[in-house]
Structure 1
Amino acid sequence: MLLSKKLYGLFFILLMSASVVFAQVPQQMPEQQTTEVSDDEIEQFALAFVEIQNIEQKIQPEMVQIVEEEGIEVQRFNEIMNAQQDPNQEVDASEDELQKFASANREIEDIQNRAQREMMEKISKSGLTVERYQEIMTAVRNDPELQQKLQKNMQEE
């Protein structure tokens, strides 16, 4: 139970790492435009999506361990990270906490960079480009019919 709370606490870090894969690709389509996605592309997307989820699940415990080994609680790590990312919020942390945070953050960035490379490789191996994967991800998020197709495809696998 405690581990699941810690993993949940690091969930936003994972979202950041996954978002990094997609943030590198500029959005070229207006959001209102409908993206056509073939059945083959849904299948390719599903394969890559599952692989990316597996990578994320693999790195979660690694990141928790790094934070804990630095002697800082996961929740506190997240508080400091949120404060540093919000220009309107002041970081209320001791020098010791900031040093522990910085050390853990460097290691987490290394893990995220490795995971990002793995994710991009999995997308490529699925037969999609990162750009197309991102387009399909956006389309799936906005289209309930595509969501159903994806769920059906993933259940069949």
Structure 2
Amino acid sequence: MILRKMKIFSLLFFMMLGTSTLMAQTNVTDQEIAQFAVTFQKMRMINQEAQKDLSELITKEGMEIARFNTIHQAQMNPEAKAADISPEEKKQYDAIIAQLNEMQAGFRQEMESMIKESGLSLERYEEIANQLQTDAQLQERVRQELTN
């Protein structure tokens, strides 16, 4: 999958909000599970479209996806071996990243709007997403809701 390491279009919105702390586990109601699951499914569709748009963007800029991934991984990981990058590739890479940042801002706004429309606050959605990382029982409840 494109930019697996990059994870810009994370399905669990908490990463987009910039939060890295795990919240204390709280009770999640059945209604919140349903709201979360519906929003999660919509985000998955948006994510697929974003991946397609990103692929097209990279190709439009004249770079192969695999090469972009190699360069990006080297740029994002200071411990990784530096990728040999030509001035032309650097220019292409910078143009892709600039456009990607614009796409990400639009994506974030769309996700925030979608969460609010679901009836959950952004904070509550984030709490549930964080709790999903460590709560197997909550994961199962969401999984069941997604399969209904």
> What residue ranges of structure 1 are gaps of 5+ in the alignment?
1-7
Calculate percent identity across the aligned residue pairs: 29
Q: Deviations over 1:63-117 (max 9, x none)?
A: 1011011111111111111111122343421111111111112112211211111
Counterpart residue type for residue 37 of structure 2: A
SS in 2 for 1:71: coil
Matches within 5 A, 1:1-157: 8-13=1-6, 15-18=7-10, 20-23=15-18, 25=19, 27=21, 29=23, 33-89=24-80, 90-156=82-148
Counterpart residue type for residue 44 of structure 1: Q
Once the two structures are TM-superposed, the CA of residue 27 in structure 1 deviates from its matched residue by 3.3
Instruction: Give the number of aligned pairs.
Output: 144
SS in 1 for 2:78: coil
Q: Is the 8 A contact 1:51 1:119 kept in 2?
A: no
The 2-side partners of 1:12 and 1:35 are apart by 30
Pick the structure with more helix per residue: 1
What is the TM-score with the length of structure 1 in the denominator?
Answer: 0.82
> What residue ranges of structure 2 are gaps of 5+ in the alignment?
none
Once the two structures are TM-superposed, the CA of residue 151 in structure 1 deviates from its matched residue by 1.5
The 2-side partners of 1:97 and 1:42 are apart by 45
The 2-side partners of 1:85 and 1:135 are apart by 27
Q: Is the 8 A contact 2:22 2:131 kept in 1?
A: no
What is the TM-score with the length of structure 2 in the denominator?
Answer: 0.86
